[in-house]
Structure 1
Amino acid sequence: MNTLTLPPYLHEGDKVVIVSPSGKIDKSFIAGARKRLESWGLKVTPGKHANSSSGRYAGTIKQRLSDLQTAMDDKEVKAIFCSRGGYGVVHLIDKLDFTLFAQYPKWLIGFSDITALHNLIQEKGFASLHAPMGRHLTVEAADDPCCTYLRDVLFGNLPTYSCKRHKLNHTGTARGILRGGNLSVFYGLRGTPYDIPAEGTILFIEDVSERPHAVERMIYNLKLGGVLDHLSGLIIGQFTEYEEDRSLGKDLYGALADLLKEYDYPICFDFPVGHVTHNLPLICGAEVELTVEKKSVDLSFIC
């Protein structure tokens, strides 16, 4: 099992930076995220171009790269918060220099298209945090459970997550390295140096606005490519904002269950991760234990 290095946990007074490495964002969400993070006792600085705009992106490639590289190189920065996802991260991942980041590792936080950065950081040997971003930190209440979990994880108080059973689950217990994120984003990195290694991995997947047959096609790629054969476990999260056309003859989860029935490792359906309000923070690269029982599912961090 390839254990990754976890960045140091945060303390009050630590410096964090908000960057926008992909889609442009309403500046109110930058301000809201800053306010929430400051309420946790952190010193927050937005990147120079966090509120910039260039077409659909938060600035040109050069601007977005500059903000992210500057934050990565600053030895005083303890965490880098991505303001939002949206297509665009792939422009950056082969241009980043990890020389100083390796000396002063820090948490990278985000989800959706930020999955590409998670894959990159794991390829460099470090863990990162798949978690809510600017809009969530702005609009959700102070006692929102996912905001609370995010703060707890960053400050080193690691939770155990429990969720309800699903009729399609495969029971069992497994330990492995937690990896994954947005299915279509890491599918786009298949065959590159930033692909997710299968051996010893507990994989989690989610997506938004992808039609069921497109999701099934991507899972078939993982099957035919041998990825599914070597996993230790599989967590199927939320697939949202798509038109259920029944083109597969059944609903999406049902179609995926048929595809996955031959695997005897634990598989959890309907886990709360994805483009939803209840989007549990997950440490990409952490060793975890997944326990799927007849009546419940537990995910605990061993690190």
Structure 2
Amino acid sequence: MNSLIFPPYLHEGDRVIILSPSGKIDKAFLKGARKRLESWGLEVVMARHAGGSNGTYAGTIQQRLDDLQEAMDDETAKVIFCSRGGYGAVHLVDKLDFGRFRQHPKWLVGFSDITALHNVFQANGFASLHAPMARHLTVEPEDDFCTQALRDILFGRNAALRTEENDGTAFDYVCPAHKLNHTGTCQGTLRGGNLAVFYGLRGTPYDIPPEGTVLFIEDVGERPHAVERMMYNLKLGGVLERLSGLIIGQFTEYEENKSLGKDLYGALADVVKEYNYPICFNFPVGHVTMNLPLINGAGVRLEVGRKEVRLNF
């Protein structure tokens, strides 16, 4: 399995840049994210257009591009923290210069529409962090599990996630089994994110390579038949058959009208029923409070058992 380059972990006093590469955001959430990150002992810099507005976006394409490129080029910053998703990151994917970034790599943090940027960073050889963003850091308490997990991963501690079975350099997530799971164990490179977003990059240089991949997917506001259609695209395109494992996360904010003759998970189970690799349903990742931080590009071991599922980094 070929894991990607990990940016350096954080220390107190390190610089974090908050920016908004997609949708515009309530400035109260920017203030909340700043406060939370500063409470971790970090220097927080707000990008020029982080709180901007241009239609539904946080600025024009050029403004959002300038903020992201300046953050990538910053020799002292250690984290690029995306304030929210929405829509708009796709405007930037083919315009980024990784020249200086390669000399001073840093963590990209975000999910949802930020999946497009995760794909770009992976295509350029760097791991990134699919994780909660500004609203979560603002509204959830200090002891929120996902907030603490994000902090521990960024600082390289992983204390909240440590088990007796490792030395602290690795960590596990454990969740209950689901009746639709395919049991088994596999190893591979963890990749994925929002299904509709990476589906939109299929056939481009930023597509997810299926070989050796443990793919995770989630989505919000997509109708069941649209989700099924996207999964059939992955099936007919030969992606699903080449995966090492599959993690099906949370699909939220849609009407479960059983237009497919069954619920959404049941329909997806039919799409993937022929594959013998481990498949996990109902994993806690997506547009939900329990949105576990996942390292895109990390080597992982996925164990899907009869009683529990374990994802080991």
SS in 1 for 2:63: helix
In 2, the alpha carbon distance for the partners of 1:29 and 1:242 equals 25
Separation in structure 1 between the aligned mates of residue 240 and residue 156 of structure 2, nearest angstrom: 32
**Matched residue type, 1:278:** M
Q: 1:264 aligns with which of 276, 279, 289?
A: 276
Alignment of 1:1-303 (within 5 A): 1-158=1-158, 159=161, 160-301=172-313
Instruction: Provide the secondary structure at the position in 1 that maps to 2:66.
Output: helix
**Structure 2 CA distance for aligned equivalents of residues 232 and 138 of structure 1:** 36
Q: Which runs of 5+ in 1 are unaligned?
A: none
Does structure 1 retain, via aligned residues, the 8 Å contact 2:16–2:44? yes
Structure 2 letter corresponding to 1:269 = F
**Could you tell me how far 1:2 is from its partner in structure 2?**
2.8
Instruction: With the length of structure 1 as denominator, give the TM-score of the two structures.
Output: 0.99
- Structure 1 residue 116, shift from structure 2 partner: 0.1
**CA displacement, residues 86-117 of structure 1 (integer Å, 9 cap, x when unaligned):** 01000011111100001100000000000000
Tell me the SS of whatever aligns to 1:53: coil
Q: Could you tell me how far apart the structure 2 residues matched to 1:255 and 1:115 are?
A: 24
Question: 2 CA distance for matches of 1:257 and 1:90?
Answer: 30
Report how far residue 259 of structure 1 moved: 1.2
For residues 164 and 229 of structure 1, what CA distance do their matches in structure 2 show? 25
SS of residue paired to 2:55? coil
Distance 1:86 1:157 in 2: 31
Q: Deviations over 1:206-229 (max 9, x none)?
A: 000000000000000000001011
Percent of aligned positions with the same letter in both sequences? 74
Q: Secondary structure of the equivalent of 1:161?
A: strand
Q: CA deviation at 1:157?
A: 2.4
Q: Does the residue aligned with 2:192 lie in a helix, a strand or coil?
A: strand
- CA-atom RMSD, angstroms? 0.6
CA distance in 2, matches of 1:130, 1:104: 20
1: CA distance, partners of 2:25 / 2:272: 38
Q: Which runs of 5+ in 2 are unaligned?
A: 162-171
Supply the distance in 2 between the matched residues of 1:63 and 1:226 (Cα, whole angstroms): 38
Deviation, structure 1 residue 274: 0.2
CA distance in 2, matches of 1:94, 1:284: 19
* Inter-partner Cα distance in structure 2 for 1:223 and 1:93: 25
